[in-house]
Amino acid sequence: MGKQIAFIIVLAVTLGVFTFTALRIYSFFKQTKPFPIKDFGKRFWLMMKVAIAQTKIFRLPVVGFLHAMVFWGFILICIGSVEMVFDGVLSTEKLFAFLGPVYDAIIGLGDFFAWFIAFAILVFLFRRIFMTVKRFYGIEMKPISKIDANIALTIILLLMVSLIGMNTFYLALFPEDYEGWYPVSQYLVSSFSGLETHSLHFWYELNWWVHIVLVFIFANILPYSKHFHVFMSVPNVFFSRLEPLGYLPNMPNITEEVKLMLDPEAAFAKPAETDEEPERFGVLDAEDVTWKNYMDSLACTECGRCTSVCPANITGKKLSPRKIMIDLRARMKEKGPGLVKEGKTYSDNKSLIRDYISEEELWACTTCNACAMECPININHPTLIVDMRRYLVMEESAAPAMLNTMFSNIENNGAPWQYSAEDRMLWAEDLYIGEK
C-alpha cells in the first residue's frame, strides 16, 4: 500500500508538471499563423517511411543504424514503461502478462534493446566528448547545447542500466515463476545467486523506482531541451509539406491582390475596408510564422546534417539552416509569454530578423533545398527563409542592391534588364544568319 500511494503521488506531480509545460507550448502555438493540412493518407505513409522506418537517417549508415536501433528500442521499452505505470497505480506485478507470447516477445526484445541502446549511447557519448565531429559545432551551438546533449544521453544510459538491473533481479527473485522472456539478462542472474531474498527484493525495487522516476524526469525535461524531438519528430514528419522541395508557396494576400488587378470589377464586390491593421507581408517575428514552422523549430534535433550540406555554409557564408530553427525556437521562448499575456500588439522592441537572424544570413540562401532534403525529420528551412526575405522586400524594400535594380527594371521595362522593350533586339541588328 505504501508503494502504491508513493507512486500515485509521484505520478500526479509528473503529470501536473507535464500538463503545465504542454499548455504553455500550446499557448505559443496559438500565436502563430495557420498551416493547411490535407491528404492524411499520404501523410500517414510518409510518417511510416521517414519517421518510423527512419529511412533518411541511413544516409550516414553506421551512426544511422545505431540511431534507428535506439529509436525502435525506445518504442518497445515504452510499452514496458506503460505497464510499470499501471503496476504502480494498481499495485500489481507484470499486468500485461496476459498477452502471452506477444508479451514474451515485447519483453524479450526490450531486454535485448536495453543492452544495445546502452552500447549505442556509450558510442554517442564517446563521439561527443572525445571526437571532433564537425557538424556538432557552429556559432549557434552554445556550451549549454553540448551539456544538454550529454545530460540527455547520460539519463538514457541510466535508464537502460536500471532496466537491465530490474530484469536481472526480477529473474533472481523469481527463478521459477517469472513472466516474460529475458534473453540477455538471464546470463547475469548467476552472479547474484548468493544474495538473500530480502536483498534481491531491495535491489529489484531500487532499480524499479530508479527506472520509472528517470522516465518521469526525462519526460519533463525533454520539452526544455534539444531532445524534445523524442516527442515532436514523428508528428513533425506527419505534418511535413507534401509538395516538391523546390516549390515555394504563394502568399494568399498577394495572390488576392493580383487577382483583383487582373479583374478590376472584382474589386467592387470586395467588402468595405475595415479599420483593422493590414496583415504583414512575410515574416518579421515569431508570431508571423505558421504553426508548422514553429513545430519545425521544436522538433529540430540540432544534428547539423542540414548545415553540413548547405553550399552557402560550406563556402564560408554566415548562413546555417540549423541556426534558423534554433533562433526561431529561442525567439518564441523569449516573446511567447508576452504575446500570450498581451496579444499580438505586444512588443519588446526586438524581432527575429536582425536581433536573431541577420539579413546577410537570409540572402546567402540559394534555395537549393539541400538542407530540407537532408533533414531526417523533414524540416523545411527554405520556406521560412524565403518568408523572411519577403518581409524585407515587401515591407522594407531592404533587398540587396542588385535585386532592387532588377525589381526597378521589371517595374519600368517589364523585364529584369535595363533595356526598354523596344530596344531588346538591338543586340542582334548586325548579326547575319545565313541559310544552311
Percent of the chain with pLDDT over 70: 96
β-strand partners of 357? 353
Place of cell 524499479: 208
Domains and CATH numbers, the chain: 2-234 (1.20.950), 252-269+277-399 (1.10.1060)
The CB density around residue 217, as the number of other CB atoms within 10 Å, is 14
CA distance 417 to 426: 13
426 confidence band (pLDDT: 50, 70, 90): confident
Q: Which residue has the higher pLDDT, 289 or 398?
A: 289
3 confidence band (pLDDT: 50, 70, 90): confident
432 class by beta-carbon count within 10 Å (0-12 exposed, 13-18 middle, 19+ buried):
exposed
CA distance 180 to 184: 12
Place of cell 521562448: 333
Q: Which residue has the higher pLDDT, 430 or 225?
A: 225
Cβ contact 112:105 at 8 Å: no
For 91-196, where are the alpha helices, taking DSSP H only? 101-130, 143-173
Structure confidence by residue, pLDDT tens digits, 59-84: 989 999 999 999 999 899 999 999 99
292 confidence band (pLDDT: 50, 70, 90): very high
In eight-state DSSP terms, residue 48 is I
- Provide the grid cell at 306: 542540414
In eight-state DSSP terms, residue 303 is -
β-strand partners of 33? 290
- Provide the grid cell at 102: 506477444
pLDDT value of residue 272: 56
- Predicted confidence (pLDDT) at residue 122 exceeds the cutoff of 90: yes
Specify the 3-state DSSP secondary structure of 257.
Answer: helix
- Predicted confidence (pLDDT) at residue 271 exceeds the cutoff of 70: no
CA distance 369 to 381: 8
- Which of 116-120, 232-236, 262-266, 411-415 is predicted with the least confidence, judged by mean pLDDT? 262-266
- Provide the grid cell at 286: 515569431
- Predicted confidence (pLDDT) at residue 113 exceeds the cutoff of 60: yes
pLDDT value of residue 209: 95
167 class by beta-carbon count within 10 Å (0-12 exposed, 13-18 middle, 19+ buried):
buried
CA atoms within 13 A on the CB side of 124: 25
Q: Which residue has the higher pLDDT, 120 or 225?
A: 120
Specify the 3-state DSSP secondary structure of 290.
Answer: strand
Cβ contact 101:109 at 8 Å: no
Calculate mean pLDDT across residues 182-194.
87
Say whether pTM exceeds 0.85: yes
Structure confidence by residue, pLDDT tens digits, 201-240: 999 999 999 999 999 999 999 999 888 988 999 999 999 9
